[in-house]
Structure 1
Amino acid sequence: MSRVLIAGCGDLGLELARRLVAEGHAVTGLRRSAQSMPEGVQTLLADVTQPQTLTEIVNIQPEILVYCVAASEHSDESYRLSYVEGLRNVLSVLNEASLQHVFFVSSTGVYGQETDEWLDEGSPAIATHFSGRRMLEAEALLDGYPSTILRFSGIYGPGRRRMLTLAQTPEQWPEKNGWTNRIHRDDGAAFISYLIQQRQNLQLDPLYVVTDHQPLPVHNLLRWLADEQGVDYAGREMPPVQGNKRLSNQRMLASGYQFIYLDYIAGYKSLLDAMD
């Protein structure tokens, strides 16, 4: 059993908290709002961007920090505060605690290159937007800490219906047919939990790309979702595949992790079945 602090209890953090409690860990969830937590999770009301609210962390003495904060808005300033300054503030407090490992949920947005080549952990992170640059800035703060960076592709799952909804309106489909990569929320949370469980037995890598088995062009995904929902897109031409990148999950697989949803078909079928 470990004492785990989850900084940022949105959708991913809450699912991770549920899994860790079920596995016998002592879990504290840090969040700004006094919303309900899963049973067995201690709540710490604090704001990572406000250092004076973080002093109680020392009393928890967490051995493991999972930093999975979400920015409040898609802006450079919000990303700087949430990911760079927020992580800096939490790490500063935890310098006084018995911290053994940090898991930082980053983003595959750090790979700004557009290519048909497969990208993995060894590929250069060439960030072309502020979001990717801020993530790389936050990742650099972990130099010198026992840490693992988790670069997530697009998270989908219960409550995340954007692509399902978009598939219902073919006239709104994007003109560009770029590659898309995704990870089901349950696999994202389960993989972090798996690494925490295996920390003593497995030599953790400092970096993992967290994504499923099958990248595909976005129009292929939308057509499949439209077919599954009985949406007519006749007359809608398939644009040539152009843009974005394909991401490899071979390091995830090499860790021994067993996927819940191997690809978009398994993952989205579970969402569509839940809607019936």
Structure 2
Amino acid sequence: MSERSDESASRPIERLLVAGCGDLGTRVALLAAERGATVFGLRRDPSGLPAPIVPLAGDLASGPFELPDRLDSVVLAVAPSRSGGPNLSRTELYERTYLASARSLVAALVATGQEVQRLVFTSSTSVYGEDEGGAVDERSSTGHASATGRVLVATEDLLAATPFRATSLRLSGLYGPGRTSLVERVRSGAATYSVDPERITNRIHVDDAARAVVHLLTHTDAPTVVCGTDREPVLESTVLRWLAERLGVEPPRPSTASDAQSRRGEHTRGAGKRVSSALLVGSGFEHRYPTFREGYAELLH
């Protein structure tokens, strides 16, 4: 499957900057390059970026970095790393990674007179404080977000106030090539699932996440906020049992009090939330992996 195309509602990507060009950003860059775009990848050490991405070295949060001219599209796809602030608290690390990076990027775009037509920020569904199993979408309140979630909301707000027509893509949990820790936990017998209450989980295959970013970059009327998740919020236990059956191993067991204490924060976990992908789908996007089954089946093949 691919995105449904509507030529009247799409725009080309000509010169794209991916700021924070890690795994997800690299996937976005390569997809844009396949469409004929000239793509620049900015990160601290760009030496490992594959062709045809043009490597740019720089620290978004603290600089310095130089931007190419005539950019029409930008993706901000940063992720927290302890190497960027080993002595910072988790909230401080988020502030440096997201908010400081967004501020310096916007300042650089303005200072160099860039006429950026579309900007996509890869945010997170952690902006929602819902943890009782309720449904959330783009209209849901972020008023009860955690401290790190509030940093993401502040970053979204900062970018929305720029002249660059920004969209914040709130991604749920990423999985796919190189992101197989859940599979390994099931394979080793270490996986457990929450009970009382059972927990609802949300995820999106990393390739679909990259495709969603490109979809929004090319969409002339993209919303300011979009939830990026697959089409099936699902119980944690359902995913684990399905994986165990496919792997031919013993099914996972419910977690105990000692399990919860051994995994930081698990003892405070509630029933989770059900994140809707209706707006993303309604904008013309089709998931290649609409549920966890298609995505994990390919990983296990």
Deviation at residue 94 of structure 1 after TM alignment: 0.4
Aligned residue among 263, 266, 273 for 2:294 = 266
Deviation at residue 143 of structure 1 after TM alignment: 3.2
Deviation at residue 174 of structure 1 after TM alignment: 4.0
- The residue number in structure 1 matching 2:271 is 243
Deviation at residue 194 of structure 1 after TM alignment: 1.7
SS at match of 1:9: coil
- The residue number in structure 2 matching 1:188 is 209
Say if 1:65 and 1:238 are closer, same or farther in 2 by CA, change over 3 A. Answer: same
The number of aligned residues is: 265
Aligned residue among 86, 97, 104 for 2:101 = 86
Deviation at residue 144 of structure 1 after TM alignment: 2.4
- In 2, Cα distance between equivalents of 1:79 and 1:72: 9
- In 2, Cα distance between equivalents of 1:114 and 1:34: 38
Percent identity of paired positions between Structure 1 and Structure 2: 32
Q: Which moved more, 1:248-257 or 1:163-172?
A: 163-172
SS at match of 1:209: strand
Normalised by the size of structure 1, how large is the TM-score?
0.90
Q: Is the 8 A contact 2:20 2:78 kept in 1?
A: yes
Q: Is the 8 A contact 2:182 2:191 kept in 1?
A: no
- In 2, Cα distance between equivalents of 1:174 and 1:75: 25
- In 2, Cα distance between equivalents of 1:136 and 1:165: 33
Deviation at residue 132 of structure 1 after TM alignment: 0.7
Q: Does 1:76 align with 2:97?
A: no
Q: Does 1:164 align with 2:179?
A: no
Q: Is the 8 A contact 1:113 1:244 kept in 2?
A: yes
Query: Aligned letter for 1:72?
Result: S
- In 2, Cα distance between equivalents of 1:186 and 1:267: 10
Deviation at residue 101 of structure 1 after TM alignment: 2.1
Deviation at residue 172 of structure 1 after TM alignment: 4.3
- The residue number in structure 1 matching 2:174 is 155
- In 2, Cα distance between equivalents of 1:127 and 1:226: 35
Q: Is the 8 A contact 1:113 1:126 kept in 2?
A: no
Q: Is the 8 A contact 2:19 2:41 kept in 1?
A: yes
Write the deviation string for residues 39-91 of structure 1: whole angstroms up to 9, x where unpaired.
2111110001113x12x11x333211100001114811211101001110010
- In 1, Cα distance between equivalents of 2:37 and 2:161: 26
SS at match of 2:30: helix
Write the deviation string for residues 186-207 of structure 1: whole angstroms up to 9, x where unpaired.
00101111222333xxx21111
Deviation at residue 116 of structure 1 after TM alignment: 2.7
Aligned residue among 141, 148, 159 for 2:158 = 141
Aligned residue among 245, 250, 262 for 1:232 = 250
Say if 1:136 and 1:260 are closer, same or farther in 2 by CA, change over 3 A. Answer: same
- In 1, Cα distance between equivalents of 2:245 and 2:216: 37
**Long gaps (5+) in structure 1:** none
- The residue number in structure 2 matching 1:2 is 14
Q: Is the 8 A contact 1:64 1:99 kept in 2?
A: yes
Write the deviation string for residues 74-120 of structure 1: whole angstroms up to 9, x where unpaired.
81121110100111001001013222221111000001111333211
- The residue number in structure 1 matching 2:265 is none
Q: Does 1:32 align with 2:44?
A: yes
